[in-house]
């Protein structure tokens, strides 16, 4: 398992980089669209739809990476007021809830993608794409998020102090 962790770390980092590149491409395409519109050359009628899909996919691509880095929003006002043992238990419970939510979304997201694929559902807008292709992003991201929450639960452990938990959960491993 320890030999696979650097590959896992690199995979999540690659997802984060890809998410950033998607956002950069969207920004560049919007700027180009504005330019060619102002020059009277034309426009990209599909751009808004591509931007919508790009924002959707990049958010789900980046979420496991952000959680891995501990860069997600974390309100620790209550945790700092609690005794070490209670704070550790609360942190464990919160990560367990996150794991449960991700597993639930994984199940229902996979079911929705499978159903859309089975019935051949298509999305008709400026572009025509199979609905399952968009829906499949949810279970893949939720699987990675669930794995990350599981790793966090294993790292916290029953004998950790709050400072050790904070150090482990916020450590940058880039």
Lowest model confidence (mean pLDDT) among 15-19, 86-90, 159-163:
159-163
Question: Backbone dihedral region of 74: left (phi > 0), alpha (psi from -120 to 50 degrees) or beta?
Answer: beta
Looking at residue 1, what is its pLDDT? Answer: 67
Residues 11, 12, 14: CA angle, nearest 5 degrees:
65
Encode pLDDT of 104-152 as tens digits.
999 999 999 999 999 999 999 999 999 999 999 999 999 999 999 999 9
CA dist., res. 83 & res. 86, Å (int): 5
pTM for the full predicted model: 0.83
């Amino acid at each position: 398992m320890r030999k696979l962790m650097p590959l896992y770390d690199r995979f999540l980092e690659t997802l984060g980089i890809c998410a950033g590149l998607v956002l950069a491409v969207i920004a560049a395409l919007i700027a180009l669209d504005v330019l060619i519109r102002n020059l009277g050359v034309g426009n990209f009628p599909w751009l808004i739809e591509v931007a919508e899909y790009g924002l959707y996919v990049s958010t789900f691509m980046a979420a496991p990476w952000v959680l891995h880095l501990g860069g997600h929003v974390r309100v620790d006002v209550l945790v700092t007021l609690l005794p070490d043992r209670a704070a550790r238990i609360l942190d464990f419970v919160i990560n367990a809830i996150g794991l449960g939510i991700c597993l639930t979304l994984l199940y229902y997201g996979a079911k929705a993608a499978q159903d859309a694929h089975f019935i051949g559902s298509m999305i008709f807008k400026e572009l025509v794409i199979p609905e399952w292709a968009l829906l499949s992003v949810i279970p893949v991201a939720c699987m990675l998020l669930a794995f990350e929450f599981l790793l966090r639960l294993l790292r916290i452990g029953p004998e950790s102090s709050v400072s050790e938990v904070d150090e482990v959960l916020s450590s940058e491993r880039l």
